[in-house]
Amino acid sequence: MSGRLEGRTAIITGAGRGLGRACATAFAAEGAALALVDIAADITEVPYHLASRSQLEHTASLCRERGVPVLALTADVRDTQDVTRVVADTVERFGAVDVLVNNAGIAGPSGRMVHEVGDEQWSVMMDVNLTAPWRMMRAVGPGMVERRRGSIVNIASTAGLVGYRHFAGYVASKHGLIGLTKAAALDYAPFRVRVNALCPGSIRDGGANEGRMLAEIGRSIGIDPADHEEAFVTQQPMNALVEADSVASAAVWLASDESVHATGSFITVDGGYSAR
Protein backbone atom coordinates (compact mmCIF):
# COMPACT_ATOMS: atom_id res chain seq x y z
CA MET A 1 0.00 0.00 0.00
CA SER A 2 1.60 3.28 -1.10
CA GLY A 3 -1.00 5.32 0.78
CA ARG A 4 -1.74 8.14 -1.67
CA LEU A 5 -5.32 8.16 -0.33
CA GLU A 6 -4.60 7.18 3.26
CA GLY A 7 -6.73 9.05 5.76
CA ARG A 8 -9.44 9.80 3.20
CA THR A 9 -12.92 8.46 2.73
CA ALA A 10 -14.36 7.86 -0.73
CA ILE A 11 -17.89 7.09 -1.88
CA ILE A 12 -17.96 5.06 -5.09
CA THR A 13 -21.30 4.47 -6.80
CA GLY A 14 -21.96 1.56 -9.13
CA ALA A 15 -19.35 -0.42 -7.18
CA GLY A 16 -20.85 -3.88 -7.67
CA ARG A 17 -18.82 -4.79 -10.73
CA GLY A 18 -16.95 -3.46 -13.75
CA LEU A 19 -15.25 -0.08 -13.53
CA GLY A 20 -16.79 0.56 -10.13
CA ARG A 21 -15.06 -2.52 -8.72
CA ALA A 22 -11.80 -1.55 -10.41
CA CYS A 23 -11.97 1.90 -8.81
CA ALA A 24 -12.85 0.42 -5.43
CA THR A 25 -9.89 -1.96 -5.33
CA ALA A 26 -7.52 0.71 -6.67
CA PHE A 27 -8.64 3.16 -3.98
CA ALA A 28 -8.33 0.45 -1.33
CA ALA A 29 -4.77 -0.27 -2.45
CA GLU A 30 -3.99 3.40 -1.82
CA GLY A 31 -5.43 3.32 1.70
CA ALA A 32 -8.84 4.99 1.32
CA ALA A 33 -11.73 4.07 3.60
CA LEU A 34 -14.63 3.21 1.34
CA ALA A 35 -18.39 3.50 1.11
CA LEU A 36 -19.34 1.25 -1.80
CA VAL A 37 -22.78 1.89 -3.27
CA ASP A 38 -24.84 -0.07 -5.77
CA ILE A 39 -28.52 -0.55 -6.49
CA ALA A 40 -27.83 -4.31 -6.41
CA ALA A 41 -31.07 -4.93 -8.30
CA ASP A 42 -32.48 -4.58 -11.78
CA ILE A 43 -34.25 -1.53 -13.20
CA THR A 44 -37.37 -2.30 -15.23
CA GLU A 45 -36.48 -0.04 -18.14
CA VAL A 46 -32.90 -1.31 -18.44
CA PRO A 47 -32.79 -4.33 -20.78
CA TYR A 48 -30.05 -6.24 -18.98
CA HIS A 49 -29.22 -7.41 -15.49
CA LEU A 50 -27.44 -4.96 -13.20
CA ALA A 51 -25.03 -5.90 -10.43
CA SER A 52 -26.28 -8.13 -7.63
CA ARG A 53 -25.96 -7.84 -3.87
CA SER A 54 -23.45 -10.70 -3.89
CA GLN A 55 -21.31 -8.84 -6.42
CA LEU A 56 -21.34 -5.73 -4.24
CA GLU A 57 -20.34 -7.81 -1.23
CA HIS A 58 -17.55 -9.40 -3.27
CA THR A 59 -16.21 -5.96 -4.16
CA ALA A 60 -16.29 -5.05 -0.47
CA SER A 61 -14.47 -8.25 0.43
CA LEU A 62 -11.73 -7.57 -2.12
CA CYS A 63 -11.23 -4.12 -0.61
CA ARG A 64 -11.16 -5.37 2.97
CA GLU A 65 -8.44 -7.83 1.95
CA ARG A 66 -6.34 -4.74 1.21
CA GLY A 67 -6.67 -3.67 4.83
CA VAL A 68 -9.12 -0.77 4.63
CA PRO A 69 -12.50 -0.29 6.34
CA VAL A 70 -15.45 -0.70 4.01
CA LEU A 71 -19.14 0.14 4.20
CA ALA A 72 -21.28 -1.63 1.57
CA LEU A 73 -24.59 0.12 0.93
CA THR A 74 -27.46 -0.78 -1.37
CA ALA A 75 -29.10 2.37 -2.69
CA ASP A 76 -30.82 3.73 -5.78
CA VAL A 77 -29.02 6.91 -6.82
CA ARG A 78 -32.24 8.03 -8.54
CA ASP A 79 -33.83 8.40 -5.09
CA THR A 80 -32.99 11.52 -3.08
CA GLN A 81 -33.74 9.80 0.24
CA ASP A 82 -31.38 6.94 -0.62
CA VAL A 83 -28.65 9.40 -1.60
CA THR A 84 -29.12 11.34 1.64
CA ARG A 85 -28.91 8.10 3.61
CA VAL A 86 -25.72 7.01 1.86
CA VAL A 87 -23.93 10.23 2.72
CA ALA A 88 -25.27 10.28 6.28
CA ASP A 89 -24.20 6.67 6.89
CA THR A 90 -20.77 7.37 5.45
CA VAL A 91 -20.25 10.44 7.62
CA GLU A 92 -21.49 8.57 10.69
CA ARG A 93 -19.04 5.72 10.05
CA PHE A 94 -15.99 7.64 8.83
CA GLY A 95 -16.51 11.25 9.89
CA ALA A 96 -16.46 12.92 6.47
CA VAL A 97 -16.52 12.39 2.72
CA ASP A 98 -13.30 13.43 0.99
CA VAL A 99 -13.85 11.88 -2.44
CA LEU A 100 -16.90 11.08 -4.53
CA VAL A 101 -16.66 8.87 -7.61
CA ASN A 102 -19.88 9.11 -9.62
CA ASN A 103 -19.55 5.86 -11.51
CA ALA A 104 -23.09 4.44 -11.55
CA GLY A 105 -24.38 4.44 -15.09
CA ILE A 106 -26.35 2.52 -17.69
CA ALA A 107 -25.79 1.94 -21.41
CA GLY A 108 -29.36 0.97 -22.30
CA PRO A 109 -32.09 1.31 -23.34
CA SER A 110 -30.27 2.25 -26.56
CA GLY A 111 -29.88 1.05 -30.11
CA ARG A 112 -32.66 3.06 -31.71
CA MET A 113 -33.15 6.30 -33.63
CA VAL A 114 -33.99 9.51 -31.79
CA HIS A 115 -37.68 9.45 -32.69
CA GLU A 116 -37.97 5.82 -31.55
CA VAL A 117 -36.96 6.58 -27.95
CA GLY A 118 -39.87 6.60 -25.50
CA ASP A 119 -40.38 8.99 -22.60
CA GLU A 120 -39.57 6.40 -19.93
CA GLN A 121 -36.50 5.20 -21.81
CA TRP A 122 -35.18 8.74 -22.12
CA SER A 123 -35.99 9.56 -18.51
CA VAL A 124 -34.24 6.58 -16.96
CA MET A 125 -31.07 7.29 -18.97
CA MET A 126 -30.99 10.91 -17.82
CA ASP A 127 -31.88 10.06 -14.25
CA VAL A 128 -29.13 7.48 -13.77
CA ASN A 129 -26.37 9.02 -15.89
CA LEU A 130 -26.85 12.74 -15.28
CA THR A 131 -29.31 13.63 -12.54
CA ALA A 132 -27.99 11.03 -10.07
CA PRO A 133 -24.42 12.44 -10.17
CA TRP A 134 -25.92 15.86 -9.44
CA ARG A 135 -27.87 14.39 -6.51
CA MET A 136 -24.69 12.86 -5.11
CA MET A 137 -22.75 16.09 -5.58
CA ARG A 138 -25.54 18.05 -3.89
CA ALA A 139 -25.36 15.69 -0.90
CA VAL A 140 -21.58 15.77 -0.39
CA GLY A 141 -20.99 19.38 -1.49
CA PRO A 142 -21.86 21.18 1.77
CA GLY A 143 -19.46 19.08 3.82
CA MET A 144 -16.63 19.53 1.32
CA VAL A 145 -17.21 23.29 1.17
CA GLU A 146 -17.21 23.50 4.97
CA ARG A 147 -13.89 21.64 5.21
CA ARG A 148 -12.41 23.44 2.16
CA ARG A 149 -11.37 20.10 0.74
CA GLY A 150 -12.69 17.47 -1.63
CA SER A 151 -12.43 15.78 -4.99
CA ILE A 152 -15.34 14.71 -7.17
CA VAL A 153 -14.67 12.40 -10.10
CA ASN A 154 -17.48 11.97 -12.60
CA ILE A 155 -17.24 8.96 -14.90
CA ALA A 156 -18.36 10.23 -18.28
CA SER A 157 -17.42 8.55 -21.58
CA THR A 158 -16.10 9.24 -25.04
CA ALA A 159 -19.85 9.56 -25.70
CA GLY A 160 -19.58 12.82 -23.78
CA LEU A 161 -17.23 14.13 -26.47
CA VAL A 162 -18.50 12.68 -29.75
CA GLY A 163 -21.78 11.36 -31.11
CA TYR A 164 -22.76 7.72 -31.60
CA ARG A 165 -25.51 6.61 -33.94
CA HIS A 166 -28.57 5.15 -32.17
CA PHE A 167 -27.35 6.23 -28.72
CA ALA A 168 -28.97 9.66 -28.39
CA GLY A 169 -29.94 9.29 -24.74
CA TYR A 170 -26.57 7.95 -23.66
CA VAL A 171 -24.66 10.58 -25.64
CA ALA A 172 -26.84 13.41 -24.33
CA SER A 173 -26.48 12.24 -20.72
CA LYS A 174 -22.69 12.00 -20.93
CA HIS A 175 -22.32 15.35 -22.70
CA GLY A 176 -24.48 16.77 -19.91
CA LEU A 177 -22.26 15.21 -17.27
CA ILE A 178 -19.21 16.94 -18.70
CA GLY A 179 -21.10 20.24 -18.69
CA LEU A 180 -22.14 19.64 -15.09
CA THR A 181 -18.51 18.89 -14.22
CA LYS A 182 -17.31 22.21 -15.63
CA ALA A 183 -20.05 24.26 -13.98
CA ALA A 184 -19.60 22.57 -10.59
CA ALA A 185 -15.83 23.02 -10.79
CA LEU A 186 -16.30 26.78 -11.07
CA ASP A 187 -18.82 26.83 -8.22
CA TYR A 188 -16.51 24.93 -5.90
CA ALA A 189 -13.10 26.29 -6.94
CA PRO A 190 -13.05 29.05 -4.28
CA PHE A 191 -13.47 26.36 -1.64
CA ARG A 192 -10.65 24.12 -2.97
CA VAL A 193 -13.12 21.40 -3.92
CA ARG A 194 -12.16 19.94 -7.29
CA VAL A 195 -14.52 18.42 -9.87
CA ASN A 196 -13.22 16.50 -12.87
CA ALA A 197 -14.49 13.96 -15.38
CA LEU A 198 -13.00 10.81 -16.83
CA CYS A 199 -13.94 9.77 -20.37
CA PRO A 200 -13.18 6.07 -20.86
CA GLY A 201 -13.30 4.41 -24.23
CA SER A 202 -14.39 0.83 -24.85
CA ILE A 203 -13.52 -1.06 -21.65
CA ARG A 204 -12.84 -4.77 -21.78
CA ASP A 205 -15.54 -6.89 -20.15
CA GLY A 206 -15.17 -9.87 -17.86
CA GLY A 207 -12.15 -10.75 -15.75
CA ALA A 208 -11.94 -10.11 -12.04
CA ASN A 209 -14.09 -7.00 -12.36
CA GLU A 210 -16.99 -8.91 -14.01
CA GLY A 211 -17.71 -6.01 -16.36
CA ARG A 212 -20.38 -6.44 -19.04
CA MET A 213 -21.11 -2.90 -20.28
CA LEU A 214 -19.36 -3.33 -23.64
CA ALA A 215 -21.21 -6.53 -24.43
CA GLU A 216 -24.53 -4.81 -23.68
CA ILE A 217 -23.63 -1.85 -25.89
CA GLY A 218 -22.80 -4.30 -28.67
CA ARG A 219 -25.98 -6.29 -28.13
CA SER A 220 -28.09 -3.14 -28.42
CA ILE A 221 -26.73 -2.54 -31.93
CA GLY A 222 -27.00 -6.16 -33.03
CA ILE A 223 -23.50 -7.46 -32.33
CA ASP A 224 -23.37 -11.04 -31.07
CA PRO A 225 -21.88 -11.08 -27.52
CA ALA A 226 -19.37 -13.68 -28.68
CA ASP A 227 -18.05 -11.24 -31.29
CA HIS A 228 -18.28 -7.91 -29.48
CA GLU A 229 -14.60 -7.58 -28.50
CA GLU A 230 -13.35 -8.13 -32.04
CA ALA A 231 -15.94 -5.69 -33.39
CA PHE A 232 -14.90 -2.91 -31.02
CA VAL A 233 -11.14 -3.50 -31.29
CA THR A 234 -11.29 -2.68 -34.99
CA GLN A 235 -12.32 0.88 -34.07
CA GLN A 236 -9.45 1.46 -31.62
CA PRO A 237 -6.34 3.36 -32.79
CA MET A 238 -4.18 1.35 -30.40
CA ASN A 239 -5.76 -1.92 -31.58
CA ALA A 240 -6.73 -2.84 -28.03
CA LEU A 241 -9.62 -2.34 -25.65
CA VAL A 242 -9.17 -0.15 -22.59
CA GLU A 243 -8.54 -1.98 -19.32
CA ALA A 244 -10.70 -0.93 -16.36
CA ASP A 245 -7.61 -0.74 -14.15
CA SER A 246 -6.17 2.01 -16.37
CA VAL A 247 -9.25 4.14 -15.86
CA ALA A 248 -9.20 3.40 -12.13
CA SER A 249 -5.58 4.58 -11.93
CA ALA A 250 -6.63 7.90 -13.47
CA ALA A 251 -9.41 8.16 -10.88
CA VAL A 252 -6.89 7.63 -8.08
CA TRP A 253 -4.74 10.44 -9.49
CA LEU A 254 -7.72 12.81 -9.61
CA ALA A 255 -8.64 11.90 -6.03
CA SER A 256 -5.11 12.46 -4.72
CA ASP A 257 -3.07 15.58 -3.97
CA GLU A 258 -1.01 14.86 -7.07
CA SER A 259 -3.76 16.55 -9.10
CA VAL A 260 -4.28 19.46 -6.70
CA HIS A 261 -4.53 22.03 -9.50
CA ALA A 262 -6.74 19.95 -11.81
CA THR A 263 -10.36 20.98 -11.82
CA GLY A 264 -13.03 21.43 -14.47
CA SER A 265 -11.13 19.10 -16.75
CA PHE A 266 -11.97 15.92 -18.60
CA ILE A 267 -9.38 13.22 -19.13
CA THR A 268 -9.73 10.63 -21.87
CA VAL A 269 -8.60 7.05 -21.33
CA ASP A 270 -9.67 5.76 -24.70
CA GLY A 271 -6.63 4.54 -26.59
CA GLY A 272 -6.83 7.54 -28.89
CA TYR A 273 -10.40 7.02 -30.05
CA SER A 274 -11.52 10.63 -29.53
CA ALA A 275 -8.34 12.06 -31.08
CA ARG A 276 -9.48 11.21 -34.59
Distance CA 160, CA 191 (A): 27
- What CA–CA distances, in Å, run from 67 to 25, 29, 32, 53, 251? 11, 8, 10, 22, 20
Residue 246 has a pLDDT of 97
34-65 exposure pattern, b = at least 16 Cβ within 10 A, e = fewer: bbbbbbbeebebbbbebbbeebbbbbbebbee
Task: Based on the residue annotation, tell me whether 188 is a catalytic residue of this protein.
Answer: no
Q: What pLDDT, in 10s, does the model give residues 78-99?
A: 999 999 999 999 999 999 999 9
Residue 13 has a pLDDT of 98
Distance CA 76, CA 178 (A): 22
Residue 67 has a pLDDT of 97
Active-site residue (options: 164, 170, 188, 273): 170
Q: Which residues of the chain have pLDDT under 70?
A: 1-2, 225, 227
